[in-house]
């Protein structure tokens, strides 16, 4: 904890720098940096993130006391630079108070503008500027924001609109006007009075008139907003530790609402949705920042090109566009030229796509913020590859720039072209975040979350979204809003999540109370299906068919770049030729786990399987196994053929047998009839198979040791398929894996059965195929005695699902109820079944690799538990020296990127 709590900036000087983001937050650090590189930024100061932690440790009063002197000094500096005084009615300095954490959390925390106004100061501002409308517009905005953020003025019911917006609507309705900026001075004055009264009525608080009180109220509210529900949820979703805290940046206000030569806007140095290298953004004349993102007025495009594209989508002709919605480039060409120059300078300075906020006060441009822009998965890949080609970054940086988990978005299905052609377009909105989404309509965030938890796909339909909707947006397949532009809350957050979003579909008429949305004469209820095309902005009726994504273009180039640096290869967990094929298209170089049990659940196989299990003699079992053999052989033939020339690791039967037997009377009767036995006999067998702890019971290699004939049948099926393929000129490379080994004797005993079966089969067929024999390491004892086990194994595959279960002693099937309590209570940081516990389970892996390779230097090691597709776990596997990771098909590219990143980080 450093003694310095406040860092000032202004007039081209700053106490902070860009690389101090941990201390100053992203916003504070970049405000400092922009000062240092000559970008026009209003003067201000940043209170550090460490103070946020102090705030939660020592409490409000103590922290205010600790800050008082430093803030007073910093305020003096702002006053000197601006030549104004805070609270002085004749020459008032007004402030903005903004949050800013180390990682950007767009829209999750709070901002307050126009701070310092009260009933007296507002009069002075009006006199001094000669612009009463501006003074009262700023004042009503301030009361509104302060009421919301500091005094907790929120809608009472979820169906209600914002209480301040409701008042604004009333006032506008009196005179029949529709736009906020059409309100006259009297109406703005009226708003201030009505707002203050509503605050008092609803919250019991008076609006504070003293600017000092306002300032401290706002600073504390920003610290408080670190712990608001949506910020907590956002951190959870994005793995941001609570300890980081938020900084508070206090800046002199510059005003975009001073008249027709003033404006405010948000812009991006590249397209955050597609990644194209096109400067873009939105602005509003005579407005303040929140107007652009809140979606109340329709924002205009920054560039002519963007404006024309927007007008085409919105169905607006060129003449109307140019007169009513001109771009900044047309309306304020000089300001535009400066803005364009600075955005380019900032991107080159940070070597990354920038997301910037600016204000034009009476023709003068000011920057209020810059940050590395949130982007979709597609944009992430394109921007990284483009920056590489432009020579802005090198190959390793390009790999590190991409977030492995975010590749997931590129693997989701896209609309089938033919289906799209035939789909009925209901209306057109803005293509705010690309992708294909189909689902049932819901109108409220909590319903989205609830329906999603019930296994439904939903599309959340809102007039506009607010940060409160985060949980619902997370749960939805897609988001559709009636209001708001490309930089609205919905658009920005959806792009950050990589979620399909169509915003600003102005033809939609949404009725929250009736839970309906109408468009062009059609009405849809909650629960009806719609589809969204986030790439074109089209809203489509019903469910439109989708197809699998492909690895092409920049994505393919990134993947081959990964292959250049990676030390581990990536295989897949697949039980069917179809899954294997999907994974191979995503770059899997083999199969790391083929679970044979899933194959038994198919129609004809389950009968033979049940017969085998329910028999009470070896002979009976052998009859049933003889029926299973050709069926299994066919399965393995398919997989080995589809993965020709690649390693295919097939695991012998693993789960407890009771999972296969019929538990219902009808099923039991059928089996009795099929087998010519009595119902009582079948029921007695089923009962005998019941275990109180099946996860620790008769499963894994214990099955093969109890019933060696099962191991023999599976070996015959695997090698028989391989022989057939070899005869047909293919190059099968099977691996046979023994599960759940705890002592080397288990493996030794299974090895004998496998080798004897293989020998007999090869002699019989007159053909030999090479195969490897390995084991899973998924019991702690196996990891600890890996040296002995390795003498019988060509390879180890870490089954970290069971290894986690048995290391923690948490049942895989029952842990869910405990996990939430543990994670909320910070007893566990993550679900250890998703994110590998490197400290405990990881130690067992490291031990096993070391001991195993000491005993058998050729030992190959891989992982096939769920962790094999989770980026931080993949990186651990690299450090532990594994040869490969294996994961489900749709995680293969994620694992490839994470593996390359691990190599680059090294």
- Annotated binding-site residues for substrate read 595, 651, 778, 799-802
Please list, residue by residue across 527-547, b when 16 or more beta carbons sit within 10 angstroms of its beta carbon and e when fewer do. Answer: eebbbbbbbbbbbbbeebbbe
Q: Among 257, 220, 252, which residue's Cα sits nearest to residue 109?
A: 220
From 162-170, 323-331, 473-481, 793-801, give the range in contact with ligand PEP by CB under 6 A: 793-801
- H or E stretch covering 358: strand 354-361
Residue pair 496/374 in contact (Cβ under 8 Å)? The answer is yes
Determine the Cα angle at 530 with ends 528 and 533, to 5°. 170
Contact flag: residue 277 with ligand PEP (CB under 6 A):
no
44 near ligand PEP, rule: CB under 6 A: no
Q: Which stretch binds ligand PEP (CB under 6 A): 121-129, 782-790, 800-808, 838-846?
A: 800-808
Nearer to ligand PEP by C-beta: 187 or 802?
A: 802
d(CA 347, CA 334): 20
* Contact residue for ligand PEP among 77, 801, 834, 843 (CB under 6 A): 801
Q: Which helix (H) or strand (E) holds 887?
A: strand 884-887
Q: Per the structure block, which two tokens stand in for 676?
A: 């010519």
Q: Which is nearer to ligand PEP, 285 or 836 (CB)?
A: 836
Query: Cβ of residue 405: shortest distance to ligand PEP, in angstroms?
Result: 20
CA distance between the termini of the chain: 30
Residues 6+ apart with CB under 8 A from 304: 327, 329, 330
Q: With CB under 6 A as the contact rule, which of the stretches 150-158, 174-182, 656-664, 796-804 interacts with ligand PEP?
A: 796-804
How many residues sit close enough to Mg ion to count as binding (CB under 5 A)?
3
Site string for ligand PEP, 412-451 (x = CB under 6 A): ----------------------------------------
Tokens of residue 682, six digits:
């079948």
CA 113 to mean position of chain CA atoms: 30
- Out of Mg ion, ligand PEP, none, which partner does residue 557 contact, by CB within 5 to 8 A per kind? none
What CA dihedral angle connects 806, 812, 814 and 815, to 10 degrees? 80
Token couple for 541: 């009726």
Q: Which does 595 bind (CB under 5 to 8 A by kind): Mg ion, ligand PEP, none?
A: ligand PEP
**H-state helical runs in 130-279:** 132-149, 163-175, 185-203, 211-225, 229-238
14 neighbors 353 (Cβ within 8 angstroms): no
Q: Which is nearer to Mg ion, 256 or 799 (CB)?
A: 799
CB of 898 to ligand PEP, least distance (A): 18
To the query of whether residue 864 is one of the catalytic residues in this protein, the response is: yes
Catalytic residue (choose from 594, 861, 864, 887): 864
Least distance from Mg ion to the Cβ atom of residue 651, Å: 9
In the list Mg ion, ligand PEP, none, the entry touching 864 (Cβ below 5 to 8 angstroms by class) is ligand PEP
The radius of gyration of the chain from alpha carbons, rounded to an integer in Å, stands at 32
Packing angle, helices 49-58 and 21-36, rounded to 10: 140
Query: How far apart are CB 639 and ligand PEP at their closest, in Å?
Result: 16
**Rounded-to-integer distance, Cα 367 and Cα 299, Å:** 18
Residues numbered 587-646 forming contacts with ligand PEP, rule: CB under 6 A: 593, 595
Please identify which residue in 54, 282, 291, 654 interacts with ligand PEP, judged by CB under 6 A. 654
Closest to ligand PEP by CB, 104 or 596: 596
Applying the rule CB under 6 A, the residues between 865 and 904 that interact with ligand PEP are 865
Extract the runs of DSSP E, i.e. beta strands, from 538-619. Answer: 538-541, 546-547, 569-573, 590-595
User: DSSP letter at 869?
Assistant: G
Q: Does residue 18 belong to the site contacting ligand PEP (CB under 6 A)?
A: no
- Show the site string, 824-863: x = touches ligand PEP by CB under 6 A, - = not: ----------------------------------------
Binding segment for ligand PEP (CB under 6 A), chosen from 340-348, 535-543, 794-802, 844-852, is 794-802
Question: Which tokens in the block code for residue 893?
Answer: 């590219």
Mask of contacts with Mg ion, 772-791, x by CB under 5 A? ------x-------------
Distance CA 613, CA 476 (A): 44
Instruction: Check residue 799 for interaction with Mg ion (CB under 5 A).
Output: yes
Shortest spacing between CB 736 and Mg ion, in angstroms: 16
* CB contact at 8 A, 754 and 715: yes
Per rule CB under 6 A, count of chain residues that contact ligand PEP: 10
**CA separation for the pair 671, 447 (Å, rounded):** 44
Contact partner, 110, from ligand PEP, Mg ion, none, Cβ < 5-8 Å per class: none
In the list 271, 347, 635, 802, the residue contacting Mg ion (rule: CB under 5 A) is 802
Binding marks (x or -) toward ligand PEP, 754..783, rule CB under 6 A?
------------------------x-----
**CA–CA gap between residue 719 and residue 736 (Å, rounded):** 9
Among 802, 833, 841, 875, binds ligand PEP (CB under 6 A): 802
Using rule CB under 6 A, residue 799 touches ligand PEP:
yes
Smallest separation, CB 876 to ligand PEP (Å):
15
Q: Which stretch binds Mg ion (CB under 5 A): 313-321, 571-579, 602-610, 771-779?
A: 771-779
Does position 386 interact with ligand PEP (CB under 6 A)? The reply is: no
Give me the least distance between CB of 866 and ligand PEP, in Å please: 7
Contacts of 438 (CB under 8 A, 6+ apart): 457, 459, 477, 478, 529, 530, 531, 532, 543, 544, 546
Write down the least CB distance from residue 593 to ligand PEP, Å: 6
> Is the CB of residue 50 less than 8 Å from the CB of residue 245?
yes
For residues 400 and 900, give the distance between their C-alpha atoms in angstroms, rounded to a whole number: 9
Catalytic residue among 452, 489, 658, 867: 489
Rounded Cα–Cα distance for residues 16 and 392 (Å): 25
Binding partner of residue 380 among ligand PEP, Mg ion, none, CB cut-off 5 to 8 Å per kind: none
Backbone angles phi, psi at 600, to 5 degrees: -80, -10
Q: Give the dihedral sign, CA 376/380/382/387.
A: positive
- Smallest gap from residue 700 Cβ to Mg ion (A): 7
Q: Which is nearer to ligand PEP, 253 or 806 (CB)?
A: 806
300-308, 337-345, 376-384, 798-806 -> range binding Mg ion (CB under 5 A) = 798-806
Q: Rounded distance, CA 459 to CA 456, Å?
A: 10
In the complex, the residues that contact Mg ion under the rule CB under 5 A are 778, 799, 802
**Which residues belong to the active site?**
489, 864
In the complex, the residues that contact ligand PEP under the rule CB under 6 A are 593, 595, 654, 778, 799-802, 864-865
């Amino acid at each position: 904890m450093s003694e310095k709590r406040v860092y000032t900036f202004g007039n081209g000087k700053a106490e902070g720098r860009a690389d101090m983001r941990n201390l100053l937050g992203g916003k504070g650090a970049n405000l400092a940096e922009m000062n240092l590189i000559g970008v026009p930024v209003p003067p201000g100061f940043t209170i550090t993130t460490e103070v946020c932690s102090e705030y939660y440790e020592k409490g409000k009063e103590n922290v205010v006391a600790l800050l008082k002197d430093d803030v007073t000094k910093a305020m003096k500096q702002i006053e000197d630079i601006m030549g104004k005084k805070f609270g002085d009615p004749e020459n008032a300095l007004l402030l903005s108070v903004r949050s800013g954490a180390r990682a950007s959390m767009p829209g999750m925390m709070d901002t307050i503008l126009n701070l310092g106004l009260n009933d007296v100061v507002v009069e002075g501002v009006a006199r001094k500027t000669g612009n009463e409308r501006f003074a009262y517009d700023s004042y009503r905005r301030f009361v509104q924001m302060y009421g919301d953020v500091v005094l907790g003025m929120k809608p009472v019911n979820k169906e209600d609109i914002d209480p301040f917006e409701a008042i604004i609507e009333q006032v506008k309705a009196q005179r029949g006007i529709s736009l906020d900026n059409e309100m006259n001075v009297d109406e703005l004055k009226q708003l201030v009075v009505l707002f203050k009264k509503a605050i008092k009525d609803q919250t019991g608080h008076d609006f504070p008139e003293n600017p000092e009180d306002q300032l401290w109220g706002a600073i504390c509210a920003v610290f408080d907003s670190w712990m608001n529900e949506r910020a907590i949820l956002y951190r959870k979703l994005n793995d941001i530790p609570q300890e980081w805290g938020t900084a508070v940046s206090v800046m002199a206000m510059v005003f975009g609402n001073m008249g027709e030569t003033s404006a405010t806007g948000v812009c991006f140095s590249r397209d955050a949705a597609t990644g194209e290298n096109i400067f873009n953004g939105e602005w509003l004349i005579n407005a303040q920042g929140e107007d652009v993102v809140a979606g109340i007025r329709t924002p205009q495009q920054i560039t002519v090109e963007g404006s024309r594209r927007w007008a085409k989508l919105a169905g607006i002709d060129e003449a109307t566009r140019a007169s009513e919605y001109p771009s900044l480039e047309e309306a304020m060409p000089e300001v535009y030229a400066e803005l364009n120059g600075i955005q380019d300078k900032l991107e080159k300075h940070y070597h990354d796509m920038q997301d910037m906020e600016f204000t034009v006060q009476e023709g003068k441009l000011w920057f209020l913020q810059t940050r590395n822009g949130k982007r979709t998965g597609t944009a992430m890949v394109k921007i990284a590859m483009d920056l590489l080609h432009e020579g802005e970054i090198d190959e390793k940086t390009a790999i590190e720039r991409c977030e492995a988990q975010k590749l997931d978005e590129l693997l989701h299905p896209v609309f089938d072209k033919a289906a799209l052609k035939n789909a009925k377009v209901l209306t057109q909105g803005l293509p705010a975040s690309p992708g294909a989404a189909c689902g049932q309509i819901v109108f409220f965030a909590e319903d989205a979350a609830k329906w999603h938890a019930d296994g439904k796909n939903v599309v959340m339909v809102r007039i506009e979204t607010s940060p409160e909707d985060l949980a619902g947006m997370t749960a939805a397949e897609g988001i559709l809003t009636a209001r708001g532009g490309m930089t609205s809350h919905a658009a920005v957050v959806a792009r950050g999540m990589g979620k399909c979003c169509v915003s600003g579909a102005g033809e939609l008429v949404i009725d929250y109370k009736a839970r309906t949305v109408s468009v062009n004469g059609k009405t849809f209820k909650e629960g009806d299906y719609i589809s969204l095309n986030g790439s074109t902005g089209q809203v489509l009726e019903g469910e439109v068919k989708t197809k699998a994504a492909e690895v092409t273009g920049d994505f393919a180039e990134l993947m081959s770049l990964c292959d250049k640096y990676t030390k581990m290869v990536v295989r897949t967990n697949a039980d069917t030729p179809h899954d294997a094929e999907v994974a191979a298209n995503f770059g899997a170089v083999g199969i790391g786990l083929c679970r044979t049990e899933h194959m038994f659940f198919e129609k004809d196989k389950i009968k033979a399987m049940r017969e085998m299990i329910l028999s009470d003699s070896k002979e009976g079992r052998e009859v049933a196994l003889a029926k299973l053999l050709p069926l299994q052989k066919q399965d393995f033939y398919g997989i080995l053929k589809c993965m020709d020339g690649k390693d295919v690791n097939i695991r012998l039967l693993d789960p407890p047998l009771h999972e296969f037997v019929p538990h219902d009377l009808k099923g039991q009767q059928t089996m009795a009839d099929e087998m010519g036995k009595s119902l009582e006999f079948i029921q007695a067998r089923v009962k005998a198979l019941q275990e109180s702890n099946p996860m620790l019971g008769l499963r894994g290699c214990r099955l093969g040791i109890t019933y060696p004939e099962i191991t023999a049948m599976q070996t015959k099926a695997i090698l028989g398929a391989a022989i057939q393929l070899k005869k047909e000129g293919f190059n099968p490379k099977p691996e046979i894996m023994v599960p759940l080994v705890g002592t080397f004797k288990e493996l030794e005993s299974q090895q004998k059965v496998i080798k004897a079966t293989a020998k007999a089969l090869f002699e019989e067929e007159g053909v030999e195929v090479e195969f490897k024999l390995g084991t899973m390491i998924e019991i702690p004892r196996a990891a600890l005695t890996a040296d002995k086990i390795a003498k019988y194994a060509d390879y180890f595959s870490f089954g970290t699902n069971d290894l986690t279960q048995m290391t923690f002693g948490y049942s895989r099937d029952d842990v869910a109820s405990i996990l939430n309590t543990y994670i909320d209570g910070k007893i566990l940081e993550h679900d250890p079944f998703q994110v590998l516990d490197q400290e405990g389970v990881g130690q067992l892996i490291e031990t096993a690799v070391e001991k195993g390779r000491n005993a058998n230097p050729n030992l190959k090691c891989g992982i096939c538990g769920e962790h094999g597709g989770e980026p931080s776990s993949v990186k651990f596997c690299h450090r532990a020296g594994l040869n490969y990771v294996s994961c489900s098909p749709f995680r293969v590219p994620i694992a490839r990127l994470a593996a390359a990143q691990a190599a680059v980080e090294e």
